[in-house]
Chain A
Amino acid sequence: MIERTPILNAVTQVVLLVMLFVILVPFWMVFAAASHDFVTVNRVPMPLWPGGHLYENLSEVWIKGNFGTALTNSLISSVLVTVGKVFLASITAFSIVFFRYRARMLVFWAIFITLMLPLEVRIVPTYAVAANVLSPLQQMLNLLGFQLVLPEWNLLNTYAGLVLPLVATATGTFLYRQFYLTIPKDLAEAAKMDGAGPLRFYWQILMPLSRSNMAALAAIMFVYAWNQYLWPLLVITDQANYATATMQLQKMVPEGFGEPPVWNTAMAATLIVLVPPAIVSILLQRLIVRGLITTEK
């Protein structure tokens, strides 16, 4: 674009820079806190210039938090959540937007409503389900008069327990619905004219078009799954083998009751836990921006 807007450009740069500062200050504080020793970090105000204990703190929490195992667990479960969610969301939205049947609004709202009640509120019955996943189905069967006995399937201390409940929420489905609605309406008709069935349309036309959306959703979902701690704390009691990174972090954050605020090591742990989602989001962010530019309309 050949156009000279010096004032607007200057304003743009200033605003962006100020926001960058606002956004990054807390990160600097986490970093600085992680580099101090116990006494310095508890001084008020804490010195904002980093101290020399970063490596020492990092290696201390690495062992204490068993982060080798925990990061692996987090990575496995977050990747599974991300993949599962992106896939499920895309096929569900596909059905809702591109198929003609009466219940589709109902289906959409049935999924959408799951955004409206957080886990904390229904934690007790949800735990019961995790301890025996098929129990709702079993009770439904009993209610309907079937004599079939389903096996007990316990999700406690399994990856499935970490992953499945997080896959079952609505954000992704809603996002895909919004995206599919922006796809020109003639596209599906044209595909039909060419004799393409719905699955081929989904695979050969929709998928390539939604690559960038997928990247955006994947980044968000990865971070979302990574930062969960309440649910993992509940389903994982075998913490030596199945602890996740954020769960280990949560346990290091002092909660009062006379516990010394060892913020320096807690923040060192924060740095460790922060690295993978930061990398993933930066990588995927490139994909988002690049992917969308090539979207042809």
Chain B
Amino acid sequence: MLRHAAFTNIWLAAALVVPQLLLVFIFFYWPTGEALYWAFTLEQPFGGSNQWVGWLNFATVFKDPKYWNSVQVSIIFAAATTAIIISVSLSLALLVDRRLPGHQIYSFAYFIPYAMAAPAAGLAFRFIFSPNAGFVAAINNWFPNIWNPATDGFDAMVLVVLCQAWKSIGYNFVFFLAALQSIPRPLTEASAMDGAGAMRRMWDIQVPLVMPTLFFLLIINLTDSFVDSFGIIDITTHGGPARATDLMVYKIYFDGFKAQDYSLAAAESIVLMLLVIVLTFIQFRFVERRVHYA
């Protein structure tokens, strides 16, 4: 990264970052700092008194086996969604980039799910998973009773993974397609001349060249699935059945937003933040090394 740093005007550099830092400080760090302070107290919903309790909230979190279940569920969810989203949207982008007839239509249509507001997406999923019509009905007709997300934890997990993937593929697709389209044509053409097949070219030339984008999307999807997935859970499974889809962030959302246990939610938030920071830090440290920048 350092090799890009050509300019040394420190005052200008500072002036360029100050506006965003100021906004981030006011609207993120200040309120977050207050929320995180609650992790070490027992905060009453309306303010009132709050007592310093040290690590009590963290102890409560860590000695609860249900919390460890949440951690496990979250990691499975994040890994599954990220893998599916990245592979599907990259494949789609590679295929659309082949520019066969009709590719313009696809490049518009695949983005659309991202534009649908959350409440509407919830309804759509409800229809899709209806046992009498659609997707679920078809599966249950072939294999009776094989699909029941209301009682089977695995089915419920599949359901939320698919929902999250459906919602995110458009977002990822756009960035991948944009990256692919920016690869100079002569490069792939030259390789075709050398006798490399279409599949080979994708793997050897196109994929390495979109690595910076892939890295960006990897990080964004990973943090998103850890941090921003409570909406999907709230619309579909509410964490059930039997806590099979009780993601860490849904637990935070429930404890803090629905149950007003601000202190517990704050402690859980710190744990989640640390986990995600460590995970992304590892990515930056090890995965980014293999990313080929200019």
Point out residues on A near B: beta carbons under 8 Å. 1, 3, 5, 8-9, 12-13, 15-16, 19-20, 22-27, 29-30, 33, 44-46, 48, 88-89, 91-92, 94-101, 104, 107, 110-118, 120-126, 128-129, 133, 136-137, 164-165, 167-169, 171, 173-175, 178-185, 188-189, 191-192, 197-199, 201, 212-213, 216, 219-220, 223, 226-227, 229, 246, 249-250, 253, 263, 266-267, 270, 273-274, 277-278, 281-282, 285, 288-289, 292-293, 295, 297
Q: Does B293 contact A227, Cβ atoms closer than 8 Å? A: no
A-B contact pairs, 28 of them (CB 8 A): A25-B128, A25-B134, A45-B134, A92-B19, A96-B17, A97-B4, A99-B5, A99-B8, A100-B6, A101-B13, A104-B13, A115-B220, A117-B273, A118-B228, A121-B253, A136-B30, A165-B23, A169-B28, A174-B219, A175-B175, A175-B216, A188-B4, A216-B178, A229-B117, A229-B118, A266-B120, A270-B119, A274-B116
Smallest CB gap from B254: residue in A: A120
Contact A120:B7 (CB < 8 A) given known A12-B95, A171-B220, A281-B111? no
Most B CB within 10 A of own CB, among A104, A122, A124, A129:
A122
B131 to chain A, nearest CB (A): 9
Answer yes or no: B144 CB below 8 A from chain A CBs: no
User: Chain B at the A interface: mostly helix, strand, loop or mixed?
Assistant: helix
Residues of A within 8 A of B232 (CB): none
Mask for B111-153, Cβ within 8 A of A = 1, else 0?
1111111111111110110101110010000000000000000
Residues of B within 8 A of A12 (CB): 95, 98, 100
Smallest CB gap from A94: residue in B: B16
Residues of B within 8 A of A168 (CB): 20, 23-24, 26-28
Residues of A within 8 A of B1 (CB): 97, 181
Residues of A within 8 A of B212 (CB): 178-179, 181-182
Q: Does B294 contact A99, Cβ atoms closer than 8 Å? A: no
Residues of B within 8 A of A133 (CB): 26
